């Protein structure tokens, strides 16, 4: 039986969760400051609820759960990337990972679920979403790098 810090999936889960929470905190901070017009939790809630449904506290809870679930899944992917590429340049790898997530997730995949006017209400909100994706990637990779103790050879 492997120790938990050597289990790639567990480390990825943990790194993704912590990265997702950091992303959520940055997202909410920019929303409270009035810089961003919406949060990614709002967008996730709107993607999974019927059109015209009011964004209530329970809807936001669903949005947060979806956002953190995606972050956990991406954290597991990140753990395998680190296991196969090594623990050097973690911050750079994390920033690249976050930028790719922004381009493909927010730029392409989200278009299938939400109209552009909802996704991109203004330039500041789009810039905040880019920044929060960079935070997600950087924090996820740095956390995984701290906990992952060996490079994956046999997995």
The boundaries of the domain holding residue 136 are: 4-147
152 lies in some domain: no
| 111 pLDDT more than 60 | yes
155 lies in some domain: no
153 lies in some domain: no
117 lies in some domain: yes
41: which 2 tokens?
A: 């939790």
User: Cα(83)–Cα(80) distance, rounded to whole angstroms?
Assistant: 5
13 lies in some domain: yes
23 lies in some domain: yes
Domain count, the chain: 1
- For 96-125, letters b (16+ CB in 10 Å) and e give ebbeebbeeebbeebeeeeeeeebbeeeeb
154 lies in some domain: no
Enumerate the H helices of the chain as residue ranges.
Answer: 8-32, 40-48, 57-85, 90-101, 116-119, 123-147
Write out pLDDT tens, residues 45-92.
877 777 666 678 888 888 899 999 999 999 999 999 999 999 999 999
How many CB atoms sit inside 10 A of residue 14's CB?
23
- Give the global pTM: 0.86
């Amino acid at each position: 039986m492997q120790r938990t810090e050597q289990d790639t999936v567990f480390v990825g889960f943990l790194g993704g969760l912590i990265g997702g929470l950091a992303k959520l905190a940055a997202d909410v901070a920019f929303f409270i400051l009035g810089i961003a017009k919406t949060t990614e939790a709002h967008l996730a809630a709107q993607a999974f609820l019927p059109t015209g449904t009011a964004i209530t506290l329970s809807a936001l809870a669903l949005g947060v759960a979806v956002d953190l679930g995606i972050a956990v899944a991406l954290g597991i992917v990140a753990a395998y990337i680190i296991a196969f590429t090594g623990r050097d340049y973690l911050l750079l790898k994390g920033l690249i990972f976050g930028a790719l997530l922004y381009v493909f997730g927010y730029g392409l995949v989200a278009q299938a679920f939400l109209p552009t006017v909802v996704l991109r209400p203004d330039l500041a909100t789009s810039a905040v979403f880019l920044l929060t994706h960079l935070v997600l990637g950087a924090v996820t990779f740095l956390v995984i790098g701290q906990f992952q103790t060996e490079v994956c050879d046999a997995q």
